Amino acid sequence: MKYIILFALCFSIFSCEIEGVKTEDEVPTEDSLSVVDSTKQEKESAETVVEEKKDSVQLDSGVKITWYQRGEGPKLSDGEVIKIDYRNKLEDGTVYDGNHLVKKPYLPFVVGWSQQTPGWDIAMEHLRVGDDVDIFIPSKLARGEKGIKGLVPPNANNILSLRVLGHMEPMKVVDGIKIWKVDERKNPGDSIDFKDEVYLDYWASTKSNPRYDNSYQRKTPFHLVMGDGNIVPGLYKALHFAREGDKLLIMIPAREAYGSKGLKDLVKPNEDLLYDIRVGRVVKQE
């Protein structure tokens, strides 16, 4: 069966002075639930409810949510990580994406950070933990005119079947930096220390510029030496809690990233960063 695994996981060093990021056109990659498509459609906010029934809500954007089970947990909030069991389908029932394709009982999702197409985050504003829903997403808020070659036709509406299983709490919070361990090896590799060489793959996002940097596109892991100053301080601090083979989500407050200056036209002043990282090889300092 031909499919794309579209969930989870970029550094190209400009110079030590700008602490290294470079933008590329986004393409779907393995280990990566695809972000907003290349049209960079903006998420619509302040959605108006056009029609509300006992088990469904129709929004003015065209997104429709139908509940099969109403959750009793807290309402979802921007920036939190939730566990989702999902299937993304075409209107004819063809499933082209889902956690079952990578044989996982759930995958993590960061609410409000454009990890998927705009329709997802629009719907999340109306959900809570425990909800079991079908979400109709019109093509303009799904894959749009381009679709995905061989998987999603142009201008195809999507049906997202979704269960919100619960929150995923960070394994560590340090200086406001939140670190979630998404996956790890059965036999953990080496921990990361000062002066170690580290090879990793990642994407980096801001709220205004999803996945502005993505090492998977370049097909070359990013190489760094811990302490050499070519990554933002928050990422340096977070990597001290990682081991070889870990997959991490890392939320970094602006003060531990690019601060009030931002980064060229990629990161606005005072913007937080979200990294999705797969730690590859760690070469220990002798």
Alpha-carbon separation of residue 139 from 52, 77, 126, 135, 145 (angstroms): 22, 25, 20, 12, 8
- Contact between 167 and 81 (Cβ < 8 Å): yes
User: What confidence category does residue 46 fall into, taking pLDDT thresholds of 50, 70 and 90?
Assistant: low
Please state, in angstroms and rounded to a whole number, the distance separating the CA atoms of residues 235 and 242.
11
What pLDDT is stored for residue 48 in this prediction? Answer: 80
Domain 49-167 and domain 172-283, same fold? Reply is yes
What pLDDT is stored for residue 188 in this prediction? Answer: 84
What pLDDT is stored for residue 36 in this prediction? Answer: 46
Mean pLDDT computed over 250-262: 98
User: What confidence category does residue 227 fall into, taking pLDDT thresholds of 50, 70 and 90?
Assistant: very high
**Which residues contact residue 54 at a Cβ distance below 8 angstroms, ignoring those fewer than 6 apart?**
none
User: What confidence category does residue 50 fall into, taking pLDDT thresholds of 50, 70 and 90?
Assistant: confident
What pLDDT is stored for residue 184 in this prediction? Answer: 87
In the predicted model, is pLDDT for residue 18 greater than 60? no
In the predicted model, is pLDDT for residue 2 greater than 70? no
Alpha-carbon separation of residue 83 from 42, 72, 108 (angstroms): 24, 16, 5
What pLDDT is stored for residue 77 in this prediction? Answer: 95
Question: What is the reported pTM?
Answer: 0.82
User: What confidence category does residue 84 fall into, taking pLDDT thresholds of 50, 70 and 90?
Assistant: very high
Matching residue, tokens 């302040």: 46
For residues 125-135, one letter each, b for 16 or more C-beta atoms within 10 angstroms of the residue's C-beta and e for the rest, the string is bbbebebbbbb
Q: Alpha-carbon torsion 170, 162, 38, 9, what sign?
A: positive
172-283 CATH = 3.10.50.40
In the predicted model, is pLDDT for residue 43 greater than 80? no
In the predicted model, is pLDDT for residue 74 greater than 50? yes
Share of the chain above pLDDT 90, in %: 77
Domain ranges of the chain: 49-167, 172-283
Select the more confidently predicted residue: 7 or 108.
108
What pLDDT is stored for residue 12 in this prediction? Answer: 30
In sequence order, what are the beta bridge partners of 213? Answer: 204
What pLDDT is stored for residue 53 in this prediction? Answer: 77
Of 23, 18, 36, the C-alpha closest to 213 is 23
What pLDDT is stored for residue 113 in this prediction? Answer: 96
Q: What are phi and psi of 67, to 5 degrees?
A: -90, 130
Rg, the chain, Cα only: 19
DSSP code for 33: -
Q: Are strands 197-205 and 158-167 parallel, antiparallel or unpaired?
A: unpaired
pLDDT in tens, 102-130: 999 999 999 999 999 999 999 999 999 99
Of 126, 125, 29, 136, the C-alpha closest to 89 is 136
49-167 belongs to which CATH class? alpha beta
Mean pLDDT computed over 29-45: 43
Matching residue, tokens 């454009």: 114
Tokens of 71: 């959750």
pLDDT in tens, 177-209: 999 999 988 888 889 999 999 999 999 999 999
What average pLDDT is seen over the chain? 86
User: What confidence category does residue 236 fall into, taking pLDDT thresholds of 50, 70 and 90?
Assistant: very high
pLDDT in tens, 153-185: 999 999 999 999 999 999 999 999 999 999 988
